[in-house]
Amino acid sequence: MCGINGFINFKKNLSSPEGSLRKMTDKLYHRGPDDSGIWFDPVTAVGLGHRRLSILDLSSDGHQPMLSKSGRYVLVYNGEIYNYKSLSHRKFNGDTASLLNSIDEVGLEKTLQKINGMFAFALWDKASRKLFLVRDRLGIKPLYYGWHKENFLFASELKAIRAYPDYQLEINRQALALQMQYLAVPAPYSIDLGINKLMPGEYLVLDYASKKVKTYKYWDLQKIAEHGLQTQPKLSDGEFKAALHEQLSRSIKYRMISDVPIGAFLSGGIDSSMVASLMQAQSSKPIKTFSIGFNDGKHNEAKFAKDVARHLGTDHTEFYVDESNAIDVIPKLPSLYDEPFADASQIPTFLVSQLAKKSVTVSLSGDGGDELFAGYNRHVFGPKILTKTSFMPSSLRRLAGSLLSSISADSWDKVSRVLKVDRKIKLLGEKAHKLAKVLSATDINSLYSQVTACWEPGSNIVLGVGEWIPRSSRGMTGNIGHGTAGDIGWGMSGSASYGMMGDSREMSSRGLTAGSITAQMQYLDMINYLPNDILTKVDRASMGVGLEARVPLLDHNLVEFAWRCPLSLKIRDGKSKWLLRQVLYDYVPEKLIDRPKQGFSVPIENWMRKDLKDWAYDLISPEKIKSEGFFDEKIISKVWQEFQSGKGAWHHHLWNVLMFQAWFSSGLQGD
């Protein structure tokens, strides 16, 4: 795993282009501490930079930028291609050389259809004078690009782009409004106005002569999902289980290929336990597993991970984090993420990556299982609630939702303790408020937005965005009260253009044209939440300590298989990820796995009322908010007061604002 960057200095006005390139490259040291290199062509003023984390082929043969045997192409590459040995009849020790040779032999398009892995790379074609930027199918690896004073820039992280001479950051307020909704700035936008993220499954072509940029899709999840839904094979449960087991085993076997020590994150949940189980089944010695624990029982899964590790016989390492350990991470977050990012599980993800790095250089993660096999509570309960309340007029549903949300989450939790139902229903207050949001939904668009939004669209918390209101996807049709959770329907059409002022880029692909409510939500999760939040979090947290994180559940072959699985294999008897559970139960007893979904969370609610109270208030005091001019200080002040008094569960909303404030106040945004 590595970091890449580069530019085309069309104006040819840099006094030291190679020095500028080195400065950009050095900003990515953490992504590749083992080696670095630059390549610059004085004729075209094209520069490519690379930082290397050596995983495959530890020799100097893996040095980049790398020239093809023909001399036509120059490549800087970030990622791992697991089937690199089958790309060509010629054999290479590393995936970079194999990738470059395949492009030399059959071209970029055919190569992209063949490769299996996670990657982001830049390819300069000296013959056609074209620059190609490519991102993997699911968006596991990041790639930013954009224009600065008629010069084209790109990099794995924004910090490298900001190191370009005379770069001046202008904050994209529309992107900030999206961050308030999604906790992260979604692709194709970035917090830097004029800089975009390349979308998953796309490649970009910049023609040097015309300076025109075009993007193309080489893998389209919408088409994959729709084809899978329409061509589901008629197999028995046992046959589907066997096929899934084979797909999982192959994917994990690929991701165990390494010339350096390898391990796995283990939370004790279904996905990470599945990965650890199949790794151990294919290893002749105990694999290394890692987990983080909290003394706060409500947020602690380490005890479950330890039970699973003991059963599997892994070499398990756990680290119990006290508040000071976790809080010490917070000052690192602005530099780690480069733009505001507010999924609070970023803290334990960084800590478990830091723990794993002490023993291994590669760690496998269970991310992706929820999206593929309907593992989120919204996949199970959202359609159920909509079906059971479909007879109710929308006004009555909204009234019921208002009544549920009028009671604070703390009060709901107190009720659950008094009635002694907390063992069955974890976080009753949070669930009651989510139910309130579901009840107010009128179609799939509003349903998905309600259950995933932090600050709701149209909350007007961000100043200066006019009438623009972001939506999770556009063109979704169908009203609540027609059809059932399992019906094929809820047609979606049109594009997801957000109508941003002066920017017609799309935030996501078109919606599915057919599928159950659950399938529609799974798809939206895979194009929005998965790449923009989950995969961003894992990439930055792991690469921040020089650790490569691999995600075997997002092998594109497994993704395509999952879309061919009927919904009845994903949700059955009220349980999510049914088929995945059946495979896992062959390795781990059901009693060690079957428990309410908890998530990888931290007690930020308690912290912001105690240890972090002064830090938080300093960042969001009315005076500071008003002087900076990004947020409505009256809204934030009201929310802060309600939160501190216990009247509202506003901790996620406040953390979202705080992550922008901490980033903006750090001074790193102009680095």
Alpha helix stretches (DSSP H) within 76-130:
95-106, 108-114
pLDDT (0 to 100) of residue 421? 56
Tally of residues, the chain = 671
- 194 versus 421: the higher-pLDDT residue is 194
pLDDT of residue 97: 93
Helices 651-666 and 173-182 meet at what angle, rounded to 10? Answer: 140
Between CA 619 and CA 616 the distance in angstroms is: 5
Of the pLDDT bands very low, low, confident and very high (cuts 50, 70, 90), residue 420 is: low
| Catalytic positions | 2
Task: Report the pLDDT averaged over residues 523-543.
Answer: 97
How far separated are the first and last CA of the chain, in Å rounded? 24
Collapse the DSSP code of 263 into the 3-class scheme (helix H, G, I; strand E, B; otherwise coil) and give the result.
strand
DSSP 33: B
Q: Return d(Cα 68, Cα 70) in angstroms, integer.
A: 5
3-state SS record for 174-238: HHHHHHHHHCECCCCCCCECCEEECCCCEEEEEECCCCCEEEEECCCHHHHHHHHHHCCCCCCHH
Q: 92-101, 224-233, 393-402 — which is least confidently predicted? A: 393-402
CB 637, CB 461: distance < 8 Å? no
Q: Is residue 519 a contact partner of residue 225, using CB atoms and an 8 Å limit?
A: yes
What tokens were used for 462? 């961000």
The pLDDT, as a whole number, for residue 323 is 81
Q: pLDDT digit string (tens) for 453-492?
A: 899 877 789 998 864 444 333 333 333 232 222 222 222 2
Across the range 315-334, mean pLDDT stands at 91
d(CA 79, CA 97): 13
pLDDT at 324 over 90: no
261 pLDDT band (50/70/90 cuts)?
A: very high
Please give the pLDDT value at position 136.
98
Note the pLDDT of residue 498: 27
Closest CA to 541 of 344, 376, 372, 370: 344
Residue 492 β-bridge partners: 476
Q: What integer is the mean pLDDT of 250-279?
A: 96
**DSSP readout, 568-603?**
GGTSBTTBSSHHHHHHHTTTS-HHHH-S----S---
The average pLDDT across 310-315 equals 98
Mean pLDDT (whole number) for 653-662: 97
Please give the pLDDT value at position 77: 96
Whether the predicted pLDDT of 367 surpasses 60: yes
| CB neighbour list of residue 32: distance below 8 Å, 6 or more residues apart | 1, 2, 3, 50, 51, 52, 53, 546
pLDDT digits (tens, 9 = 90+) for 109-141: 999 999 999 999 999 999 999 999 999 999 999
pLDDT higher than 90, residue 433: no
- Per-chain mean pLDDT for the chain: 87
Give the pLDDT of residue 468: 43
Residue 229 and residue 563 in contact, taking contact as beta carbons nearer than 8 Å = yes
Average pLDDT (150-176) is 96
Alpha carbon separation from 102 to 50, 56, 57, 88, 105 (Å, rounded): 21, 18, 18, 6, 5
For the chain, domains (ranges, CATH) are 2-172+186-219 (3.60.20.10), 224-390+441-596 (3.40.50.620), 603-671 (no CATH)
Per cent of the chain over pLDDT 90 is 69
Strand ranges across the sheet with 362-364? 315-321, 288-294, 262-265, 362-364, 548-550
Give mean pLDDT, residues 96-106: 95
pTM over 0.85: yes
